[in-house]
A and B are shown apart, each in its own frame.
Chain A
Amino acid sequence: MIWLNSIAQGILLGGLFAMSAVGLSIAFGVMRIVNLAHGDLMTLGGYLAFITIKYSGMSTWYTLIIVVPVMAVIGYYVQRILFQRALRMGELAPLMVTFGISIIIPNAFTQLYTNNVQQLPVGSLATSSIQLNNMVSIGTFPLLTLCLSIILIAALQQYMARTKMGRYMRAAADDSEILRLMGVDHRKVYGVAMGISFATLTLAGVLFGMRQGGVSPYDGHLTVLFAFETVIIGGLGSLWGTVLGGIVLGVAQTVAGQFSPEIPLLVGHLVFLGVLAFRPNGLLGKEALR
């Protein structure tokens, strides 16, 4: 029964991994940008939430209403000003630029707010849970994150399938030159895609911080790996694949935690490397963003 419980916890954790991976998947799918700063931008989102709480005293949940749109706008302009320029220069430049960002964010926040964990309180939801039986209990907060993550991915799927901008994004993913020939400003499309990427990663970053009890500067160097492993395990370019990838990674970590509290990270990485060795296209194979 204790195993059933840890599998249940793993599935819930997987929801959060999936949410953090969606933005990475979109940035790669549409722009071919591998954002090495993905995790650190999640940390930035967490800190923005913390700063908002500090100055306004509102609950962490309400800060999302401010922080997520702000990060979306930042994402749009980071794409237009920095990444767009880098993209023109070849494959190396976007990687270097995002790596530069991933060095700046944690060190700047360590200087500004020390190495300590800054609280992101969950409120009354933190302790409430649904008791299924005497061994298995589902925390309300993790359950909420899993539901949010599934709603988010379903909504993005619909956005990609049905809206004009979504169609442009899929077209850009296939062939951005042709999109340009059709008279669409691909830079705007890229900007919006990066905005979506930033918005989702911020949501994930704040929720991750709430789950961990707070946000600390170097969290991003861990979360970027989780997000990346989730994308690869699920299969490149598949949004629903990220849900599966997240669940596989989450279950691997929580089940390993049952054996020893020191090995969840290691087992998570090993599962990823195993998938890489035996199913290099991921569990759901190659279904492009469509």
Chain B
Amino acid sequence: MSSVVVERSRKKSLLGAVFAILILVVLIIAPKILDQSITSEWVKLFYLITLASMWNLLAGYAGMISVGQQAFIGLGAYGVFVFNDHGMSTYESGIIATLIVGVIAIPLSFLAFRLRGGYFAIGTWVIAETVRLIVTRFPNLGAGKGRSVAHYTSAPELRNLYTYWMALGFLAFALIASFTLLRSRLGLGLQSIRDNEVAANSIGIKVNWVKRVVYVIAAMGCAGAGSVICVQAIGVASPNEIFGVGYSAFMIFMVLIGGLGTIEGPVIGAFIYYFTDKYFSQSGLWYLVIIGLLAIFVTLFFPKGIWGEINARWNISLFPVSYQVVPKKE
């Protein structure tokens, strides 16, 4: 008789899953109940969580630190123009653009994976810059000046509603994809790659294949967020912003503060960033300086982030992806 069992989903976390589904249902019907001025503010929160989760999937689970995800955010946003100009609605365009970006990410991954560690990081940055310079060469995409969406839903209530559902859809995709991926065999392989790539390779994990899957999913998540940003603003004001390294800074900040390598962390980080941005972004660029300082401080003194600390203290996990040994109950 062994006195311990290895388990993953405990009762508390089953509760978490039920809770998550409940929240999702509430969020779907929220704009019908609450005032639209409230719910359309949440769109930003949704795409921030999406972005943070995607960066976390790359860095926290696969050990790939990218400072170039803005390539895919920008492509998602500009993809909306391309398909919208050919007669699709903005929402369909966003979804198609996201899928296409997934395809574009495959050849790009071959280039990026030539580099390791920190050099991978700068490599992704170069790729993002290259993509920006190519996209802004097209006059019908507004060249260097940005442009607006040609055909959009004219009634503002409907537009807000659809944009909200679109943002929520991409968020659900991001979270569900991360969760199922991490619970699968692939996810186990992934975490072993993060911890030691050579060892992972030697026990038969197809390192590059696993990393490529994650890279493509992360690219699609970021593209989805980018298309939401474009649809909500009915266009792109400045290509330098949507392709800017600032997005990477925000993603990194959210994930570090919330807790790298946990599913819950980026969600918390996104909330914190959303409110800092809401109340302090008027105070000029000093607030970005503070974000930089905080990123350094958290990295050096609280590397586990908020959720990591909570988890270490009380051992709770709403979205359990790792196995644990617990005493057996008689």
A123 within 8 A of B: no
Chain B residues within 8 Å of A125, by CB: none
Q: Give, as a whole number of angstroms, the nearest-CB distance from B301 to chain A.
A: 9
B295, A99: Cβ atoms closer than 8 Å: yes
A1 within 8 A of B: no
B292, A101: Cβ atoms closer than 8 Å: yes
Most buried by A among B127, B284, B288: B288
Task: State whether A276 and B125 are in contact (beta carbons under 8 Å apart), knowing that A100-B295, A104-B293 are contacts in the complex.
Answer: no
B289 within 8 A of A: yes
B87 within 8 A of A: no
Chain A residues within 8 Å of B63, by CB: 91-92
Q: Give, as a whole number of angstroms, the nearest-CB distance from B71 to chain A.
A: 12
SS class, residues of chain B in contact with chain A: helix
Task: Scan residues 51-98 of chain A and give those whose CB is less than 8 A from a CB of chain B.
Answer: 82, 85-86, 89, 91-97
User: Within the complex, which residue of A86, A103, A228 is in contact with B289, where a contact is CB–CB below 8 Å?
Assistant: A103
SS class, residues of chain A in contact with chain B: helix
User: Within the complex, which residue of A93, A103, A108 is in contact with B300, where a contact is CB–CB below 8 Å?
Assistant: A93
Task: State whether A36 and B118 are in contact (beta carbons under 8 Å apart), knowing that A104-B292, A111-B285 are contacts in the complex.
Answer: yes
B255 to A, closest residue via Cβ:
A96
Q: Give, as a whole number of angstroms, the nearest-CB distance from B145 to chain A.
A: 13
B303, A34: Cβ atoms closer than 8 Å: no
A229 to B, closest residue via Cβ:
B126
Return the 5 tightest CB-CB contacts between A and B, nearest first: A34-B118, A103-B292, A104-B292, A100-B296, A100-B295
Q: Other CB < 8 Å A-B pairs besides A102-B292, A225-B122, A266-B130, 15 of them?
A: A28-B119, A34-B121, A92-B59, A92-B260, A94-B118, A95-B118, A100-B299, A101-B296, A103-B292, A221-B245, A266-B137, A273-B127, A273-B130, A276-B115, A277-B110
Chain B residues with CB under 8 Å of chain A are 59, 63, 65, 67, 110-111, 114-115, 117-119, 121-123, 125-127, 129-130, 133-134, 137, 245, 248-249, 252, 256, 260, 284-286, 288-289, 291-293, 295-296, 299-300, 303
